[in-house]
Structure 1
Amino acid sequence: MMHNLKKLFSALFFVMLLNASAQDVEGEEISVLTEFQNTNGSEGRFEVFFNAVNRYNINSAYDWLDTIKIYLSNSQKANDSIAAQRYRVMQTQVYNDLGEFDKSIALAKELYAKKDSLDSSSRKIILEVLDDNYANLQLYDKQIEIRKEKRELGYTDNVAFYDIYSNLGLHRKARNQYIMEVKPTIADNDSYGLAKYHSKVGNYLRLDDSAPTALSELKKAKAYLDVFLNDISKEKTEEQLFESDLLKAEIEGNIGKCHVLLSEYEEAVPLLENSIEVLNSSSRNSHKSEVIENTLNLADANLQLERYTSAKQSLDIDFENISMLQRIKRNSLLAAYYDKVESFRNAATYYKRNERIKDSLTQKQSSIIKQQLVTIVANEDLENSQRLIDEQKRINELARSEMKAKDERINLVFISLIFTLLGFAGLVYAYLKSIKNQRLIAEQKHIIENALVEKDSLLKEIHHRVKNNLQMVSSLLSLQTKNTRSKSAIEALEEGKSRVKAMALIHQKLYQNDDLSVIEMQGYIESLINSVQSVYKKGGHNISITIDAEGTELDIDRAIPFGLILNELVSNSFKYAFPENDDNGKIYIHLRKNGEQGYFEYTDNGVGLPDDADERAHSSMGIRLMNRLVNQLQSKLNIDKENEGVRFWFNFS
């Protein structure tokens, strides 16, 4: 028997060695499990396991479980209790990832019973695993106890209830509490934090059957996440990029589900497919449940679009740990599928299954959910009561301090009263003298205000006349165009005319503004694009243009170079980016200025720049003009030609 076991272990080791060698030779990604096995000592392996961005990138959780059991057995044989403890903590997490929540809880409780022998990191991990296990088993009263333990140990500042409320179907209450507790903690410039916040609020709205409002919040979340990912000024770690990909997949999945609720099935399908593909790479149980939800919604959309084969493929997937409500939805969709393909006997079978499940669910869960609600509300009331008591104590202490200070102030009043009377005579004299000075100041102020009003009027008139003069120049260029036969001369005149219009538009916006010092760029960019489109009448009408410059204001010294740069970029897109068909054409313009720092980005998905673009840049009037204008803004123009279309960007101050 022992001889056979040795042969088996030798064979397994040889296969693992071959696999590792093959991966190194072919240059493929080395699995986290291989890194784990190549690391010396239980402490190092513990760090690799819990710090891995995606520990199941190649090997499954079952592979990890088998490997950890071998190391656990070896450490027990060597009487290394600390190493054995670490491997059991890892085992607890793997059972949780596999959805074997009862096993995970039993092992976690056994470990936590000896918490004094655990290090802080292991204690925190076990509590997090217990929190997740109880949530998945809908044992919310136990989950609250774990969260209180985490707060007492300093792992969290407060006991949050919003996710528990949502799990119990109280999505509106969950949303209100989440907004109240989380919104004040997010900085205005924290794009990633704002993306997570709007994603969560949008999902609560979706669950509360408010799909249109949810869609708006989710699109905000996606926009903030795009800002975070596109911010080249901040270096991002591999973990941050992985988490961002997962968050983007969550947002897209929820947007897809909103489209299904709104019967917009074509829009929903690609979003749900992409979300499923990305979330499948995650080991979190919340993401596994999200994959099931997205798959069921994808099946629903395909059924409505009469893509029966695709719908059936989604419904035939054998999911682990599917919830009762998800099973009911799957049975309903299968029944609908068989109805549509006229297999009515199979449809009836799934309708009957749902009836049995619903009856069982009604009997078993009604009393449990009521009990959970009572427990949670009682806990929350207790928390609120304790906070009120603490607040009242603080108020009483302040009142006592205030009374003491009041007695001291009364004594000071008598002393200060004498000095006040002495000073009063001087104040009367000074007051009478100040009346005369105030009259003089009022007269001077009136003169200055009139001068300022006159100055504003003159400035507006100047800007108006400059705009008119520039329009006259544009008209002269138009006349010259009609009298010119050379195609290249006509194009040059049209380009000049477009640049003149861009500058004229600046002065028009200034004299229309109440504030003559700055220009609101969102409205200016929209007007500029309309002006450019009128020049290129045959093109540009089917191009989708997205402008993200809301709330950004620039002074005239920066606005004029920006206007000319944008005029060149949009003109080039209309002329060259879409030579055959602009139906799928997209232009994205992003402009932001926070304090002294600013960022500009322009992209289109056209044919991109030609291969000899760098050589042409020296002879191209447009490129040379843009480089000089960017230099005026004390920056450098960056051009990305490798991706689809073209991308221009630069920072400025």
Structure 2
Amino acid sequence: MIAQNMAEGICLVGATDGTIVYANPKFEQMFGYNPGELVGRNVSVVNYQDEQIDPHEVARLLMQEILTRGEATYEILNVNKDGTPFWCRATTSLFGHPEYGNVLVGVHQDITERKQVEEKIQASLTEKEVLLKEIHHRVKNNLGIVSGLLQMQLRRTQDTQAAAILRDSQNRIASIALVHEKLYRSEDLANVDFAQYIADLTAYLFGSYNIRANQIRLYTQITEVGLDIERAVPFGLIINELISNALKHAFPGDRPGEIEVRLVQDTPDTLTLLVRDNGVGLPPDFDIQHTKTLGMSLIQGLAKQLRGAITIHSHLGTEFKISFRR
């Protein structure tokens, strides 16, 4: 019989009662049995057993699956005769045997070594994920300390211009800290969920500038999109600057108004951010290329870092549009 000399472990199991009717030498060797010792025993004898796993139930479910589909490939935790557990990869098919009738033919390979390597890799990845989360957490906390120090200084500052600078700096730090907060709490350590990020950042900024809910209304349309940290930080800073500028300058004298924030994916590779308000608009002579304010300089520099293009319109308010490739 060809199966006698095969490198894989092969066994034949009765399709009606689950009894082993044949096992080749390699199968017997894999499971630690003497020649012919497995014949006549229920196949569940080779399945692993503990408090959670019933070997008879495992065998029954596998047979049911194979009889229904005609074939199945699976990885299974088996047990040696001496009780040592080990992993096998098996392919089992339904076959009409001239001597034994309908049997399940199982071809088994010992994959214990591969499983151990996979477990080590997984443990290493898990350890690195925990470390990355801890790093993001600590960065966020350290930025929180810096923000707290600025807040303390802000409370002791009588100069309104200096206070405004401190508040702007505090908000910029908050936009960066929020990126690390999102990554720390995310299952995906590679990308920031920007829909939730923008919602949280805008809520923070409205609170920072003491904006009443009925004074300025916020409308958002945010595509579900993730950005890696290299893009998330500058992009978050751009959003911070644009919304902060609108809150500070677009609606003087408690003038009511609206701010719209949209993030849309134009193509699979292109994102467009649009921040629009219906406030007083920009000065007639405004030119972003020659502005000397830190906020506008930041927006230009960060957009360049993202390889983005800025478009500005000032009609019935102000609209900033920044498109960049993901």
The alignment's TM-score, normalised by the length of structure 1, stands at 0.34
CA contact (8 A) 1:522 1:547 kept: no
- C-alpha displacement at 1:516, in angstroms? 1.1
| Equivalence for 1:460 | 133
- C-alpha displacement at 1:541, in angstroms? 5.0
Q: Does 1:488 align with 2:68?
A: no
Cα deviations by residue, 1:197-228 (Å, 9 ceiling, x for unpaired): xxxxxxxxxxxxxxxxxxxxxxxxxxxxxxxx
Work out the CA distance in 2 between the residues paired with 1:443 and 1:615: 59
| Equivalence for 2:221 | 548
Q: CA, structure 1 residues 617+424, in 2 after alignment: closer, same or farther (shift >3 Å)?
A: farther
Give identity over the alignment, percent.
34
- C-alpha displacement at 1:478, in angstroms? 1.0
| Equivalence for 2:56 | none
Cα deviations by residue, 1:365-412 (Å, 9 ceiling, x for unpaired): xxxxxxxxxxxxxxxxxxxxxxxxxxxxxxxxxxxxxxxxxxxxxxxx
| Equivalence for 1:108 | none
Q: CA, structure 1 residues 620+540, in 2 after alignment: closer, same or farther (shift >3 Å)?
A: farther
| Equivalence for 2:93 | none
Match of 2:124 among 436, 451, 454: 451
1:606 is paired with a residue whose SS is coil
| Equivalence for 2:322 | 650
Work out the CA distance in 1 between the residues paired with 2:284 and 2:4: 86
Q: Does 1:610 align with 2:283?
A: yes
| Equivalence for 1:579 | 252
Work out the CA distance in 2 between the residues paired with 1:424 and 1:597: 60
Work out the CA distance in 2 between the residues paired with 1:444 and 1:616: 56
| Equivalence for 2:39 | none
Work out the CA distance in 2 between the residues paired with 1:554 and 1:615: 26
- C-alpha displacement at 1:436, in angstroms? 7.7
- C-alpha displacement at 1:616, in angstroms? 8.5
Work out the CA distance in 1 between the residues paired with 2:214 and 2:225: 26
CA contact (8 A) 2:243 2:275 kept: no
Match of 1:567 among 240, 257, 260: 240
CA contact (8 A) 2:9 2:109 kept: no
Q: Does 1:426 align with 2:6?
A: yes
The answer for unaligned runs of 5 or more in structure 2 is: 11-25, 31-87, 89-107
CA RMSD of aligned residues (A): 2.4
Q: Which structure features the higher share of helix residues?
A: 1
Cα deviations by residue, 1:213-271 (Å, 9 ceiling, x for unpaired): xxxxxxxxxxxxxxxxxxxxxxxxxxxxxxxxxxxxxxxxxxxxxxxxxxxxxxxxxxx
Work out the CA distance in 2 between the residues paired with 1:510 and 1:617: 36
| Equivalence for 1:601 | 274
Tell me how many residue pairs correspond in the alignment. Answer: 231
| Equivalence for 1:165 | none
Match of 2:186 among 506, 513, 516: 513
Mean Cα deviation higher: 448-457 or 426-435 = 426-435
- Larger relative CO (CA 8 A, sep 6+): 1 or 2? 2
2:322 is paired with a residue whose SS is strand
Cα deviations by residue, 1:548-568 (Å, 9 ceiling, x for unpaired): 114222222221112111111
- C-alpha displacement at 1:450, in angstroms? 1.4
Q: CA, structure 1 residues 631+530, in 2 after alignment: closer, same or farther (shift >3 Å)?
A: same
- C-alpha displacement at 1:449, in angstroms? 1.4
- C-alpha displacement at 1:538, in angstroms? 4.7
1:614 is paired with a residue whose SS is coil
- C-alpha displacement at 1:618, in angstroms? 2.8
Greater Cα radius of gyration, structure 1 or 2: 1
- C-alpha displacement at 1:520, in angstroms? 1.4
CA contact (8 A) 2:288 2:296 kept: no
Cα deviations by residue, 1:598-650 (Å, 9 ceiling, x for unpaired): 22211111111112321784311001000111111111211112x21011112
